[in-house]
């Protein structure tokens, strides 16, 4: 096992029967989204809300036989600080700007190692290969569970990666070859990883949407049709495909579009220049919405459009599916696991404007989808399949499996 010079983190002795399982998470957690976080953290620029982590944490934060430490490493923190909520100790570590990815996350490894030496966990949970989490786990002498969020080696074949993602992509294969136990969500992800890393024990665990989405009382708006998109307004999420399709269909039916997510300004400007000006009067942008605020938007939406060019198992689609919101989505990655043709949505060819246009035209002619409704048996199945309880039970089993590995 590769070690950084001076890395002195020691293995924790075997856990005694009856003592709490001590778990440490790293290296990204959206602390700025937590209602109970210190005020100075709430002023930190909001990054991805990673709702699946917060949903899981909410489920286990008061479990008596579990002790949890969450380590978040970020250059945007004003200072390093610790705080507690429930059974959880949060450790926010400030790093110098620009050094994390540049050191191939060895800086993170040293900082996290120092913190873990004090925590002495039974098992560590590395959330993703993004931000080098899986690589960091592979460098430390602790039993580990790696959770795949995206699959960067796959993403790189479908769209250009930014600098930070390119570095994480470079590190991903080695980290997974050295890992013993990993979780992934969709059937696609399990198949993709299993064929490339035969020594990796894989557990399929679907990340559950916030329960607030299963509690949505739908009152769909159908005139005009109210489309909603949830995710970054960028090339990777297929924003250009959505805009070009609606630009071509403009005037054939009445619609409005609500886009919830961060906007890449240069990308947005280029799209605006290529499309009719009146289209933009129909589009409203929102960002940094909480799960409850997004669920509120779901109430009146007719259907969601999700045109992503690469998605292992998009949380946005899962949220819509359990809310009973029809989804028109690209046929890519794990999306077909959740969107059942003509039951709770339609699928179209990834990156294909004409295919999306055809799907939208089919949807507005569907007696079910055009009213913003879905098949009730499919909705019931989705809510059970994507439940918080199932996710929690499987993750706890994953910790025990990681502990049993040599």
Choice among 6-10, 199-203, 337-341, 396-400 with the minimum mean pLDDT: 6-10
**In a domain? residue 183:** yes
Give CA–CA dist 20/63, Å, rounded. Answer: 9
Predicted pLDDT at 88: 95
Q: How many domains does the chain have?
A: 2
Q: Are residues 227 and 328 in the same domain?
A: yes
> Does the pLDDT at position 11 exceed 60?
no
CATH classification of the domain holding 281? 3.40.50.2000
Residue-wise pLDDT for 32-57, tens only, equals: 999 999 999 999 999 999 999 999 99
Q: What is the pTM of this model?
A: 0.90
Give CA–CA dist 230/316, Å, rounded. Answer: 6
Pairing label, strands 345-348, 303-306 = unpaired
Q: Cβ(24)–Cβ(130) under 8 Å?
A: no
State mean pLDDT over 103-113: 97
Q: Are residues 310 and 371 in the same domain?
A: yes
What percent of the chain lies above the pLDDT cut of 90? 91
pLDDT band at 13 (very low <50, low <70, confident <90, very high): low
Q: Cβ(134)–Cβ(125) under 8 Å?
A: no
**In a domain? residue 9:** no
**In a domain? residue 2:** no
Choice among 18-22, 89-93, 144-148, 255-259 with the minimum mean pLDDT: 18-22
Give CA–CA dist 321/325, Å, rounded. Answer: 6
Q: Are residues 242 and 100 in the same domain?
A: no
pLDDT band at 17 (very low <50, low <70, confident <90, very high): low
Q: Is 69 exposed, middle or buried (CB count within 10 Å of its CB: 0-12, 13-18, 19+)?
A: buried
Output the DSSP codes for 163-220: HHHHHHHHHHHHHHHH-SEEEE-SHHHHHHHHHH-TTSEEEE-PPPPPGGGTT-----
> Does the pLDDT at position 177 exceed 80?
yes
State mean pLDDT over 24-33: 96
Give CA–CA dist 89/259, Å, rounded. Answer: 35
Q: Are residues 201 and 96 in the same domain?
A: yes
**In a domain? residue 10:** no
Q: Are residues 245 and 146 in the same domain?
A: no
Residue-wise pLDDT for 238-247, tens only, equals: 999 999 999 9
Predicted pLDDT at 5: 38
157, 345, 208, 219 alpha-carbon torsion, rounded to 10°: 140
**In a domain? residue 293:** yes
> Does the pLDDT at position 6 exceed 50?
no
State mean pLDDT over 141-167: 94
**In a domain? residue 239:** yes
Q: Are residues 198 and 309 in the same domain?
A: no
Q: Are residues 199 and 260 in the same domain?
A: no
Alpha carbon of residue 37 to chain centroid? 21
| Joined tokens for residue 18 | 């009856």
First and final CA of the chain: distance in angstroms? 13
- Give 69's Cβ-side CA count (13 Å radius): 21
What percent of the chain lies above the pLDDT cut of 70? 96
Residue-wise pLDDT for 365-395, tens only, equals: 999 999 999 999 999 999 999 999 999 999 9
Residue-wise pLDDT for 305-332, tens only, equals: 999 999 999 999 999 999 999 999 999 9
**In a domain? residue 1:** no
Predicted pLDDT at 15: 60
Give CA–CA dist 84/304, Å, rounded. Answer: 37
Give CA–CA dist 30/168, Å, rounded. Answer: 19
Q: Cβ(40)–Cβ(92) under 8 Å?
A: no
Question: Which residues partner with 82 through β-bridges?
Answer: 91
Structural domain range at position 328: 211-385
Q: What are phi and psi of 372, to 5 degrees?
A: 75, 25
State mean pLDDT over 123-144: 97
| Joined tokens for residue 54 | 């917060």
């Amino acid at each position: 096992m590769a070690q950084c010079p001076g890395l002195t983190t020691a293995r924790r002795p075997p856990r005694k029967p009856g003592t709490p399982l001590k778990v440490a998470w790293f290296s990204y957690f959206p602390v700025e989204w937590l209602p109970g976080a210190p005020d100075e953290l709430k002023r930190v620029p909001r990054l991805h809300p990673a709702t699946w982590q917060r949903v899981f944490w909410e489920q286990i934060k008061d479990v008596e036989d579990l002790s949890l430490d969450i380590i978040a490493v970020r250059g945007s923190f004003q200072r390093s600080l610790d705080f507690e909520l429930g059974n959880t100790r949060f450790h926010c570590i400030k790093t110098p700007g620009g050094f994390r990815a540049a050191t191939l996350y060895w800086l993170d490894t040293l900082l996290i190692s120092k913190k873990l030496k004090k925590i002495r966990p039974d098992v560590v949970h590395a959330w993703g290969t993004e931000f080098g989490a899986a690589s960091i786990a592979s460098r430390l002498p602790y039993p580990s569970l790696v959770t795949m969020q995206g699959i960067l080696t796959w993403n790189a074949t479908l769209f250009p990666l930014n600098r930070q993602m390119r570095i994480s992509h470079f590190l991903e294969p080695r980290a997974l070859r050295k890992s013993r136990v990993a979780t992934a969500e969709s059937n696609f992800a399990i198949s993709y990883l299993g064929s490339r890393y035969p020594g990796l024990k894989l557990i399929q665990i679907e990340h559950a949407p916030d329960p607030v989405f299963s509690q949505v009382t739908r009152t769909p708006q159908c005139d005009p049709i109210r489309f909603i998109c949830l995710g970054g307004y960028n090339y990777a999420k297929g924003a250009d495909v959505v805009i070009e399709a609606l630009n071509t269909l403009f005037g054939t039916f009445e619609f409005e579009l609500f886009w919830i997510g961060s906007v890449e300004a240069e990308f947005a400007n280029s799209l605006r220049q290529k499309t009719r000006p009146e289209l933009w009067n129909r589009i409203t942008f929102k960002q940094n919405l909480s799960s409850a605020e997004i669920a509120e938007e779901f109430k009146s939406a007719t259907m969601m459009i999700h045109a992503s060019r690469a998605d292992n198992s998009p949380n946005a689609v899962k949220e819509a599916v359990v809310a009973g919101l029809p989804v028109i989505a690209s046929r890519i990655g794990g999306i077909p696991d959740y969107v059942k043709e003509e039951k709770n949505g339609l699928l179209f060819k990834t990156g294909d404007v004409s295919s999306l246009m055809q799907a939208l035209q089919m949807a507005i002619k569907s007696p079910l989808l055009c009213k913003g409704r879905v098949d009730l048996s499919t909705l019931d199945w989705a809510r059970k399949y994507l439940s918080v309880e199932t996710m929690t039970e499987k993750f706890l089993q994953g910790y025990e499996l990681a502990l049993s590995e040599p």
